[in-house]
Amino acid sequence: MKATFEVDKVSVSHRLKEVDLTIPSGRCIHILGPNGAGKSTLLNTLGAIVPATAGQVLLNQRPIEAWPLPVLASFRSILAQHSEAVFSVSVADYLSFFSHDEQSIVPTMLEKALEVGGYFSQSINRLSGGERQRVEICRSLMQVWPAIEQGEAVLLLDEPLQGLDIRHQYGFLALCTRLCELGNTLILSCHDISLSANYGQDIIFMKHGQVTSYGAVGEVMTAQNLENTFDCHFAVKERDDFLEIQVCAPIVG
């Protein structure tokens, strides 16, 4: 089963306004927008966490709310912006709750990108913010790992890069590319425009709860779209297959 979203005039009171999207399977999609643009709400609405107050979200031509939760949870994973461990447990014990492999806790692909094995003996509550974020990313992917291996997962990640150092930002984004190559659908929110321009396949621009532009990076990552979204002047240059994004100045007045 390959996941395809159809979002038809979806609104959420005071947070989303008549959003229309068609999201095919196997894409790596980055959502960009200022604070309060509706990025988190859109992710949570796609994931059946926040219900639409108008319009409809279809997943494989079926209303998202009509999916039995156990079935949905088997292939859809959500990473929230803020996660707090209820119990002070070791990282190994925490991740073992979500492991599907009797031989090793963390799949090799995830360990190579996120490097969480060195924290197994530590309490999850004693990790730094970036270390904890890597563990939470790992947990969110392990929850649906069988679906990921089949290329059938839907991964909804809210600001997964927050707190990560440069090395692990790039390692994680390379992992995202690999997961989508397997056929999985990955949608994440981000505040690093340059990283999204060079690691996302498609971009959703949002502002004031509305989608202002959506399409392939090469089509929508323009200075005009960036200015309309962020109220700043931008310069966009292509250099050896790399998009260089420069913020010039805020738009005043």
174 falls within a domain: yes
190 falls within a domain: yes
Structural domain that includes position 214: 5-87+151-250
What angle in degrees, to the nearest 10, is found between the helix axes of 166-181 and 129-142?
Answer: 10
56 falls within a domain: yes
**Beta-ladder partners of 19:** 10
**Beta-ladder partners of 152:** none
101 falls within a domain: no
Question: 162-192, pLDDT tens digit by residue?
Answer: 999 999 999 999 999 999 999 999 999 999 9
Q: Which residue in the block uniquely carries the two structure tokens 């009171």?
A: 13
Q: Which residue in the block uniquely carries the two structure tokens 């992917």?
A: 141
Cα 147 from Cα 178, distance rounded (Å): 14
227 falls within a domain: yes
106 falls within a domain: no
Number of domains in the chain: 1
Question: 80-132, pLDDT tens digit by residue?
Answer: 987 766 678 999 999 999 998 877 899 999 999 999 999 999 999 999 999 99
146 falls within a domain: no
Q: pTM for the complete prediction?
A: 0.95
| CATH code of 169's domain | 3.40.50.300
